[in-house]
């Protein structure tokens, strides 16, 4: 999508710190970290909200989570991590392109 920040990052039109990329998703550093390690796993396909995802897209999100769990060393989250998806206004979603927050690198506050 033309005006989407994450689509611009994926296309290389906007600068980001990329830690990982394959055909289907990227992992970048969050520009405004709320934990020592704060990354975003962003599927390349533009879907604004998880409730708009297809079954296939949703099962792909599961695969991304599995991949993250196998990349703990590279991502600096070996002592534990938290995965978060914000959906909609009450959750504070600010970018309308589904993404998974990866938080770790320190003892996280209780939710």
Q: Site residues (CB under 5 A) for Zn ion?
A: 1, 4, 6-7, 46, 97
3-class DSSP state of 41 = strand
Residues interacting with ligand AMP, by CB under 6 A?
Answer: 5, 14, 16, 28, 30-32, 40, 86, 92-95
Give the nearer residue to ligand AMP in terms of CB position, either 36 or 70: 36
CA–CA separation, 98 and 48 (whole Å):
6
Minimum distance, C-beta of residue 18 to Zn ion, in the bound complex (Å): 16
Minimum distance, C-beta of residue 15 to ligand AMP, in the bound complex (Å): 8
Minimum distance, C-beta of residue 106 to ligand AMP, in the bound complex (Å): 17
Q: Helices H, strands E: what count in the chain? A: 3, 5
| Residue 46 contact partner, candidates ligand AMP, Zn ion, none, CB within 5 to 8 A by sort of partner | Zn ion
Catalytic residues: 99
**Cβ-proximal residues to 78 (8 Å cutoff; 6+ apart), any chain:** 72
- Find, among 103, 3, 102, 99, the residue nearest to 42 by Cα: 99
């Amino acid at each position: 999508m033309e005006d989407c920040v994450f689509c611009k990052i994926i296309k290389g039109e906007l600068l980001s710190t990329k830690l990982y990329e394959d055909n289907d998703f990227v992992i970048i550093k969050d520009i405004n970290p709320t934990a020592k390690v704060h990354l975003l796993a962003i599927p390349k396909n533009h879907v604004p909200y998880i409730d708009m995802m297809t079954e296939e897209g949703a099962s792909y999100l599961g695969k991304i989570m599995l991949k993250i769990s196998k990349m703990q060393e590279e991502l600096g989250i070996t002592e534990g991590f938290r995965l978060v998806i914000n959906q909609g206004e009450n959750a504070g979603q600010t970018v309308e392109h589904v993404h998974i927050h990866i938080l770790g690198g320190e003892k996280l506050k209780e939710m």
